[in-house]
Amino acid sequence: MNIDSRLPADEPSHLVRGCCCYREFGEEKVCLNNDSVAPINAISVDPSFFSQLTSRKLLEDFRSDNINMCYLLMFLDRGEGYCYCVSQNQRIHINNKDIMVTEIEDALEFVTSSEKSRDGVLCSDCLYRYIRTLGESSEDYLTDTEREEIIANYVRELAVNMAIQLSDYDKSDGSDFNDHLWNYLREINRSRSHWASMILNLKRAGADESLIELVDSYGTLARLESVFMFQVLSLDDPSEEINPLEVLRFMVGISERVIYVNDTIREITTNLKERGALPDNIREMLFQHSEARKIMEYKFTNLVSALHNIETHTK
């Protein structure tokens, strides 16, 4: 059942594919709404069928006559702030608490950032796990130790997934992930030497201070990426030596710094272009790195959003 949790932009934003109450246990599909375990028949329904479902009042018109039918769709009532099952017109209720729209929106942001929204079944499982561990309904459900362990797993999953994307790791070629990461780290360090050498030459030539700052910012990005990769490699250290909350805050700090440096690069580049102080050879050289820089910024922006989401629930 290939269902994406995020609907295309032209489809109603109040409908969400997937449901935090849907779970699979072997071949059995069940609904956990209202803290019960009810067998269901889950089907994929084209959301365009519900294009007229624009308010909570209309839900009853779309309710299935079969109490075991599940459309795997949630309706977000932003007016009241609650979430509803479309197929049964029931408010979604987990751990004796109604699930709020804000919780689902936070969960979707987290799930999307962790690249787990491509499959509907996995998406629903992740939504449920998020609600039970980081959402409001997790209160009085987990011990501090259990929550810390789950947070550690979340942070590791996010960080490793980020490292896989940045380093273009492909497990199908049979290479070891850690070996691949060490080799990538060496490449980053070679690029750091390149930036350092370039800065030295610019200083010797009496170049514009802003130009030197621009090149230095690119060098800073390389340094931050290398620190991030080394931290990912360190996640395999004995668990008793790792404090998940410290790792979380460290990752947040690195991600925010990457975003800040990218903003600085844009500002300096614009200023240099307006003053005609960006030499053609350097502009062309930096252009070769700009696409990778934009991709890196996009990925770290998603990462910091997900990490902040976790951090908020640890305080």
pLDDT tens for 158-171 read: 888 888 988 999 88
The pLDDT confidence band at residue 10, using thresholds 50, 70 and 90, is very low
- Is residue 119's pLDDT more than 60? no
Q: Which of 97-101, 112-116, 149-153 has the lowest mean pLDDT?
A: 112-116
pLDDT tens for 203-254 read: 999 999 999 999 999 999 999 999 999 888 888 766 556 666 677 778 888 8
pLDDT tens for 240-289 read: 566 666 777 788 888 899 999 999 999 999 999 999 999 988 888 888 88
DSSP state string for 29-67? EEE-GGG--EE-EE----GGGGTT--SGGGHHHH--SST
pLDDT, position 118: 45
- Is residue 196's pLDDT more than 90? yes
Q: Are 84 and 34 in contact (CB under 8 A)?
A: no
pLDDT, position 135: 61
- For residues 153 and 164, what is the distance between their CA atoms, to the nearest angstrom? 16
Q: Are 308 and 252 in contact (CB under 8 A)?
A: yes
pLDDT tens for 35-46 read: 888 888 888 776
- Is residue 4's pLDDT more than 50? no
Q: Where are the domains of the chain?
A: 15-141, 165-312
Q: 109 or 188, which is more confident?
A: 188
Q: 302 or 191, which is more confident?
A: 191
Mean pLDDT of 113-139: 59
Supply the angle between the helices 280-312 and 101-113 in degrees, to the nearest 10.
140
pLDDT, position 253: 87
- Is residue 115's pLDDT more than 80? no
Mean pLDDT of 75-91: 91
- Is residue 71's pLDDT more than 80? yes
Q: Which of 106-120, 147-161, 211-225 has the highest mean pLDDT?
A: 211-225
pLDDT, position 114: 53
Q: Which of 53-57, 82-86, 106-110 has the lowest mean pLDDT?
A: 106-110
Q: Which helix (H) or strand (E) holds 142?
A: none
Could you give the percent of the chain with pLDDT greater than 70? 79
DSSP state string for 153-188? HHHHHHHHHHHHHHHT--GGG---HHHHHHHHHHHH
| Mean per-residue pLDDT of the chain | 80
pLDDT, position 314: 54
Q: Which residue is it, tokens 């990005």?
A: 221
The pLDDT confidence band at residue 90, using thresholds 50, 70 and 90, is very high
Question: Closest by alpha carbon to 118, among 225, 238, 217, 18?
Answer: 18
- Is residue 48's pLDDT more than 90? no
Q: Which residue is it, tokens 């779970």?
A: 23
